Structure 1
Amino acid sequence: MSEHPINGLMQTAMQSIKDMVDVNTIVGEPVESKDGTVIIPISKVSFGFGAGGSDFGQKNVGNSDANFGGGSGGGASIEPVAFMVVGQEQIKLMPIEKNTSPVEDIIDSVPTLLDKVIKAIKKKKDKPEKTEVKAADSAEEVETV
Structure 2
Amino acid sequence: MMDNTMDQKHPVSELMRSTIEKIHELVDTNVIVGQPIHTPDGVTLIPISRVNFGFGSGGGDYGKSMKGENFGGGGGAGVKIDPVAFLTIKDGVTRVLPVAVPPVSAVDRIVDMAPDLMDKVEKFLDKKKAEKEQEVL
Q: TM-score, normalised by structure 1?
A: 0.69
Q: Give the Å deviation of 1:114.
A: 4.9
Aligned sequence identity (%): 36
Match of 1:77 among 77, 80, 90: 80
Q: What displacement does 1:66 show?
A: 2.8
Of the three residues 87, 93, 100, the one matched with 2:103 is 100
Aligned to 2:39: 33
User: What stretches of structure 1 of length at least 5 have no aligned partner?
Assistant: 126-145
Give the CA RMSD over aligned residues.
2.7
Q: Which residue is equivalent to 1:3?
A: 9
More helix by share: 2
Which entry has the higher C-alpha Rg, 1 or 2?
A: 1
Distance 1:113 1:29, change over 3 A: closer
Q: Which residue in the other structure is 1:137 paired with? A: none
1:44 alignment partner in structure 2: 50
Q: Which residue of 2 aligns with 1:88?
A: 91
Aligned length: 119
Structure 1 equivalent of residue 135 of structure 2: none
| Cα shift readout 1:76-108 (whole Å, capped 9, x = no counterpart) | 011100100011220111122223137344661
1:30 partner letter: P
- Give 1:50's aligned amino acid: G
Q: Could you list the runs of 5+ residues in structure 2 that have no partner in the other structure?
A: 132-137
CA distance in 2, matches of 1:28, 1:112: 24
> Which of the two has greater strand per residue?
1
